[in-house]
Amino acid sequence: MELAGGKAGDVEEIDARAASDGVLGRFHAVELACHHELHPEEPARSREEAIAFYRHQPATHASCHWLAEGGAASLYVHGPRAAFLRLLVEPRHRRRGIGSLLLAEVLGRARELDVEALVSSYTTAAGAAFATRFRFVAEARVVQSVLDLRAAELPQPNVPAGFRLLTWLGRVPDEYLTGFVEARAAMDDAPQPEGTDLPGWTAEHVRASEESLAQRQREMRLTVAIDESASIRAFTELRVSRGSTLGFTDDTGTVATHRQKGLARAVKIESLRRLRDDHPEIEVVSTSNDEENAVMRHLNESIGFRPTAVVTSAVLDLADP
């Protein structure tokens, strides 16, 4: 999520599921104007991809959206202390109060939804100043990185004895769903901004995510390491939108009792090898890691990922008057 500070006209709330392509395309226009600040060295998503993203969010969380001339904001509420703000103002429209107007609408709705902590982020000095002005407190720093997939050296993965790798496209098989939910709990000890509390994944969350991705014509690619008991011990997820040249790394995790065996490296390399074979049009793969997560950052850099930007998470405590 990003913050960017921007007298502007009215702010309009948008029902993304019912809005026209023309209306949702305005969100994409704002994204494009800010893309160089937010995701350097990554190809921007297409208008069609952005429209599908806004229209088909998973039903397991609340999604709210607003538009103003030259700016846009979205609020995604997963829980009282797991609400995420994305607020963007086009550079040529900044310093006119647009960001303030959008934020006022977001805060009003957040309080209606009993949000206690609002999380956003920034990559620029202007975003930092805007966040400070409205009493967001800087927390974690996240390093964004990219991999040149076509040039990457991806040897056959070294799979520890007793394990095998599987890759599923689009959907986790029913017989592995419970095991995957349990394996995803490996992410529970990952760093997150102070004061936030992201709900754990359930089978409902997994299926809702899969449905959302399918509606967006975005391929979910899940590679897992399975032991002799058919239990998932490590996983990594890649996502690719139809027609895009960018692959996106979602979560990678290893069950705590099976760490330091090389499973994370094995699933990541296998996932990237399969992606390159299946989608030769993909040029860049992006990922992000908490700055303090030295193990995963080192792993990614050893594969060939190169840091491109640092994103600072910032939290606004709505319980504080």
Mean pLDDT of 295-319: 96
- State residue 5's pLDDT score: 43
Q: Give the SS3 label for residue 106.
A: helix
E strands, the chain, are 12-14, 62-68, 71-79, 82-89, 117-122, 137-148, 164-169, 218-226, 232-241, 246-254, 284-290, 306-317
Exposure of 309 in the CB half-sphere (CA atoms within 13 A) = 21
pLDDT digits (tens, 9 = 90+) for 152-169: 999 999 999 999 999 999
Confidence of residue 191 (pLDDT cuts 50, 70, 90): low
Instruction: Measure CA of the first residue to CA of the last residue in the chain; give whole Å.
Output: 24
pLDDT digits (tens, 9 = 90+) for 232-267: 999 999 999 999 999 999 999 999 999 999 999 999
**Beta strand 71-79 pairing with 117-122:** unpaired
Number of separate helices (H) and strands (E) present in the chain: 8, 12
Contact 73, 131 (CB under 8 A): no
pTM of the prediction?
0.91
pLDDT digits (tens, 9 = 90+) for 31-67: 999 999 999 999 999 999 999 999 999 999 999 999 9
209 pLDDT higher than 90: yes
